[in-house]
Chain A
């Protein structure tokens, strides 16, 4: 399917910008570690839209953006696993996951 005639690249870029900054706003306004992690996931997904859109619209003879998006997904999975391990450990120590209450580095 040829999307160029139907949907310009600009639409994809605008969508990606919107989702990225919504994710950034989520990281900034939320005070709960898990919801902040959700904001980070939104940002990573926005970047993936950009990679695939540039691949599809500008360089269809290669699959560079496709593989980059694949690698971003793998890194996001690793990041989520480590972050959730950290969150569970923090919950065990402080009995809360709110960033305002987690303010000690060492016991």
Chain B
């Protein structure tokens, strides 16, 4: 058991538990819609064209820049479109996607079996393979994994986050029950890649089966497995580090700065696939659950498979549903199932519509203070966020909010507090951008003024100098003139004198 439990948090039982969360394979879809926009690192640039035939596992797009990530074809077939499609995002925006029409063969690119055991590769080679496989954080953050490992080079501890603390999501639980060997092996790969001396698998104590299966395959004494109490937000990276190691990562700091690398257990499995089997990331495990399906279950589906196809297997009820991607606490609501599974789709909630709870005024009861895992005062923050008083909100540590939604969950007035905070953060970013822009413009303007003034002065100085030179010249000329005149006068006088003398 972890010794250093954090304050706050809420215990929320899984609303739709299943007896044994096995993984069911979803057949490759007839059409795959692959998202190019990555959660971190911008939009990937397609390297195929419409009409090209691609094989499963082939790279079809790449992001450039600091955090390059590959996108691979998840089925074999013909590229039928590269166009804007709606993506699972709260704002309902469209983003560029590559559409592959399946040829039904699921023909793979030639996978070169690793010629050597990963331990004989250098960490750089392992990292390269992770990068090429297009792996990102599969717990939902979507941060490019190779970049995270690179930043944490020389870490003393690797933490494998298998808490899966958000109620309803079961994909990691099932992954651990079905692929314990691969996960342990994947951890060894990771330890090799970041040269960590020890690894801790953190697992919530409501997953005894997963724990047992990992214990059965763990023969590495540098890998320990720790159970932590089941409590929502136990899996938040900084809180997990606090629980396991009693290290409090300062606000704004990173785990890597303190010698800790945190990776989700699903990511670890993907790393195993990439490094040991040399398979890129083209599928993932996703939980389908909610009040609107008869059988909540986990599925392994190719990326780009439509939500509808996966949900179908769980026997949804015959009515309109509320669909949510991600967990019940931090997920995003989306209008329907016409979206496709992307690398961070860990869960699809299919709920029968429920009337929205009536939002009442905040009565400052402070239930939210008690559950806030990062020890904020949500009721005060709410006050300032609502009145868009960002400066005050920042004073109350707005930026430390992890938007876990525990406060929403306990609020007796049903106020969506976390949404207010995420809005306030966005507003702050906007204001900061506007301020930066204004500063830049002012800087430019001031420089222009300065430049004009400088030019004017330089010109004035130049003119003055010229004038002075001219005056001097004129004075000299005048002197010269005078001298000439004097000479002439003298000469004349001499002539005059001579004339006089002749007489």
A-B interaction: no
Binding site for B on A (CB under 8 A): none
Binding site for A on B (CB under 8 A): none
